[in-house]
């Protein structure tokens, strides 16, 4: 991985497939995940981009499918949720990895910790459970230690994010989702472009690069598999809108 700060040129829709993260990419990061709501500009932009790209647009997010559909008002059909553990194809078919048997124990342990640590927030995603410490940064080390202990005991996969640690069912990641979409119409044969902000998006960046496309990191410059970088959510939306003119 290498640090990158180059701004990408406006995306040419011809032959491109666009894979977009949600939080920190299409929507600002907020203290509580449930406080992200639908946005008319974002919804309209995604609808127009999907038309320009002939349907080659998918959202790949750590959120649950229900949450993604709530925020995007159900306007994007190809979606990979929970980092790829649940995937809805462009034809509407659903592929789901069964939940791991260790999730109830992990959820209970995270909730027990949250009751004694004000500001910690537990999010149950069905196939993973996340412990957010954005409102309690002093508990970061405690949260990570508990997640490590539970991963060792249950066989769940620990996955770190921006001010969150998550225990997920073993299975597909965001890069696997990119590869799966590209094996199907209307994505097959297209040049993948993955846009995301978090460490969890590195699998998507790497997959896009390996398949002849590239990644775009959103946010502060860091070591990354992405080729380009955009400063934040506002700049990302502006860059996506420019693709409409390029099309």
Residues with a known catalytic role? 21
First to last CA, the chain: 31
Closest CA to 198 of 164, 167, 171: 164
Q: What's the farthest any 2 CA atoms get from each other in the chain?
A: 53
> How far is Cα 224 from Cα 197, in angstroms, rounded to an integer?
10
> How far is Cα 241 from Cα 141, in angstroms, rounded to an integer?
40
Tokens of 40: 């008319």
What sections of 53-199 are H helices per DSSP? 65-71, 103-115, 140-154, 174-182
Cα dihedral 209/210/213/216 (nearest 10): -20
Question: Angle at the Cα of 90 (from 86 to 226), degrees rounded to 5?
Answer: 70
CB atoms within 10 A of CB 55: 15
């Amino acid at each position: 991985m290498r640090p990158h700060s180059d701004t990408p040129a406006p995306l040419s829709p011809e032959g491109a497939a666009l894979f977009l993260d949600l939080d920190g990419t299409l929507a600002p990061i907020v203290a509580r995940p449930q406080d992200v709501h639908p946005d008319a500009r974002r919804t309209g932009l995604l609808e127009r981009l999907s038309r320009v790209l002939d349907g080659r647009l998918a959202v790949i997010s750590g959120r649950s499918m229900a949450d993604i559909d709530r925020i995007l008002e159900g306007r994007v059909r190809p979606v990979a949720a929970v980092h790829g553990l649940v995937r809805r194809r462009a034809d509407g078919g659903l592929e789901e990895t069964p939940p791991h048997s260790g999730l109830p124990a992990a959820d209970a342990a995270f909730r027990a910790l949250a009751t004694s640590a004000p500001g910690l927030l537990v999010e149950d995603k069905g196939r993973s459970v996340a412990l957010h410490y954005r409102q309690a940064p002093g508990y970061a080390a405690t949260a990570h230690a508990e997640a490590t202990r539970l991963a060792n005991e249950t066989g769940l996969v620990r996955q770190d994010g921006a001010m969150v640690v998550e225990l997920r069912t073993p299975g597909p990641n965001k890069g696997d989702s990119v590869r799966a979409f590209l094996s199907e119409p209307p994505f097959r044969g297209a040049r993948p472009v993955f846009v995301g902000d978090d460490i969890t998006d590195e699998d998507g960046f790497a997959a896009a690069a390996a398949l002849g496309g590239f990644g775009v990191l959103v946010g502060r410059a860091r070591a990354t598999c992405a080729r380009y970088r955009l400063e934040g959510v506002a700049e990302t939306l502006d860059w996506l809108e420019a693709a409409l003119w390029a099309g």
